[in-house]
Structure 1
Amino acid sequence: MRLLPALALCGASLFSSWLGAVELTSGTPDYGVLIISRERLEIATACDIGVYLQDQLVSRLFQGQSSSYNLPPGEVSVRLGIMGDSGCQPSFEQIRSDRVQIRAGAIHKYRVMLLESGLGLRAVDP
């Protein structure tokens, strides 16, 4: 008989823990999503494009590929560079970077473009 109240208390505790977890996940997430895509026709090279966030290589984009990143809110530095075998090595390292403002709960979509100053990002309209 003493076991029954203990089991009921344990079940109530588990239910309240689960309910708390549901409340936490139902609100706005504490991160934003950055999606970077490389369309096949925008950049006429078979070389990979390296994506650097805060000067750290995080992915390589092939033709027609997209990558997404869950990032904390705030400003993030995005740099792009040509990567690959000896035929793909650029004659200089791309120093230019784009700054993207990440908002919690938002999805930010960008496309890789070839600009006068090198590779860059252009926002994609929703």
Structure 2
Amino acid sequence: MRLLTALPLCLLLNCITVLADDQPDLVDPGAMPAGSQARIVVSRPQAQNENACDVGLYVQSKLIARLAPGDKIEIPVPSGPVALGVAAMGSALCTQETDVVHGQSVILQPGETRGYQVNGDQSGVFLSPLP
């Protein structure tokens, strides 16, 4: 009987461990050689289509942040090609697009800072470059 009561607890703890292991680490700027770092700035307008759902920001196919309306994040990345993406996150009402990540690739020069804004329409959320 003890085995049966301990089994759900062990399964739960294993799930928690797996979820914790899946969380990506942010890029450590100290691990990049001097002069090879670039920066990506992503903002999300406060009143974006009156949508309160979070938006997941992906860099190199890894979830880096969840952005709520009004959030802004600056991410140090290595210079060179970088894959960016966003997807709606949250409850079933937020993820009607089956968690599709809308992505794009950019090439960043050392020392470059590039800005993006999260936008959305009927097809989902996407990143628009800022001037």
* Greater alpha carbon shift after TM alignment, 83-92 vs 103-112: 83-92
For residue 41 of structure 1, give the secondary structure of its aligned residue in structure 2: coil
1:98 aligns with 2:104: yes
Correspondence for 1:33 among 39, 44, 49: 39
1:67 aligns with 2:73: yes
Query: Unaligned stretches of 5+ in structure 1?
Result: 1-27
Greater than 6 Å deviation, 4+ residue runs = none
**Deviation digits for residues 4-30 of structure 1 (CA, Å, limit 9, x no counterpart):** xxxxxxxxxxxxxxxxxxxxxxxx732
1:53 aligns with 2:50: no
Correspondence for 1:113 among 116, 119, 123: 119
Query: Unaligned stretches of 5+ in structure 2?
Result: 1-33
CA RMSD of aligned residues (A): 1.9
The higher radius of gyration belongs to 1
In the TM superposition, what is the alpha-carbon distance from 1:75 to its structure 2 partner?
1.3
In structure 1, what residue type is equivalent to 2:94? C
Give the structure-2-normalised TM-score: 0.66
In the TM superposition, what is the alpha-carbon distance from 1:112 to its structure 2 partner?
0.8
In the TM superposition, what is the alpha-carbon distance from 1:51 to its structure 2 partner?
0.5
CA contact (8 A) 2:97 2:124 kept: no
In the TM superposition, what is the alpha-carbon distance from 1:55 to its structure 2 partner?
1.2
Matched with 1:8 is none
CA contact (8 A) 1:34 1:102 kept: no
In the TM superposition, what is the alpha-carbon distance from 1:35 to its structure 2 partner?
0.3
* Number of residues of Structure 1 aligned to a counterpart in Structure 2: 98
